[in-house]
Amino acid sequence: MVNFSPWGYLTILAGVMGLTFAACVFVFITRLENRTPAPLGETVGAHKAVLAKLRKRRPMSQEEMDYATELTSDARSPLAYAIPAALFSMGFFYVVGCLHELDVHGGAPSFRTFVGGIPMLTSMNVAAQLHRVGRLKGRLQEASLTVPESSDELTSVGTN
């Protein structure tokens, strides 16, 4: 029987959780790739512009509303949170793995041991950004549409 320290058990747990979250990320990305993208999503900078309009409660076109709906629903998906969870698990695995090795072989923790904290902090930022975008769903339901102005005048071809 193998006798692990608490750091060893945490390392195994972090590895299993990392693999689980990585599988969830794979499923989420596969779903995103298999769906038909919104036409506005192919435009550079559209993501930022549409979310800015939504935050400031400005009127949006139907295309922008569809794209904003897609963005908020993606951010609210539980599988979307697997991305920061996998990143956090990776950093946690590194930290507890280093601490396990130090416990087994002796030694004191150094700065290198805690480098795994960087992806852990980054993952918290990613999760917060997903949460901020997901909260915009309430504003999306209140958003107003801009109706394209129709011209009552008929113009004939070839005349000015």
CA 107/CA 113 separation, integer angstroms: 11
Q: Is residue 94 part of a domain?
A: yes
Q: Is residue 105 part of a domain?
A: yes
Q: Is residue 149 part of a domain?
A: no
Domains of the chain: total: 1
Q: Is residue 4 part of a domain?
A: no
Give residue-wise pLDDT tens across range 30-73.
999 998 888 888 888 888 999 999 999 888 888 888 899 999 99
Q: Is residue 7 part of a domain?
A: no
Name which of 156, 30, 131, 153 is nearest 81 in CA terms.
Answer: 131
CA 51/CA 48 separation, integer angstroms: 5
Q: Is the dihedral of CA 88, 123, 133, 51 positive or negative?
A: negative
Q: Is residue 91 part of a domain?
A: yes
Name which of 29, 28, 19 is nearest 86 in CA terms.
Answer: 19
Q: Is residue 2 part of a domain?
A: no
Give residue-wise pLDDT tens across range 130-145.
999 999 888 887 777 7
Query: Which residue range is the domain that position 32 belongs to?
Result: 13-142
Q: Is residue 79 part of a domain?
A: yes
Q: Is the pTM of this model over 0.85?
A: no
Name which of 131, 109, 117, 113 is nearest 87 in CA terms.
Answer: 117
Give residue-wise pLDDT tens across range 78-120.
999 999 999 999 999 999 999 998 888 888 888 888 899 999 9
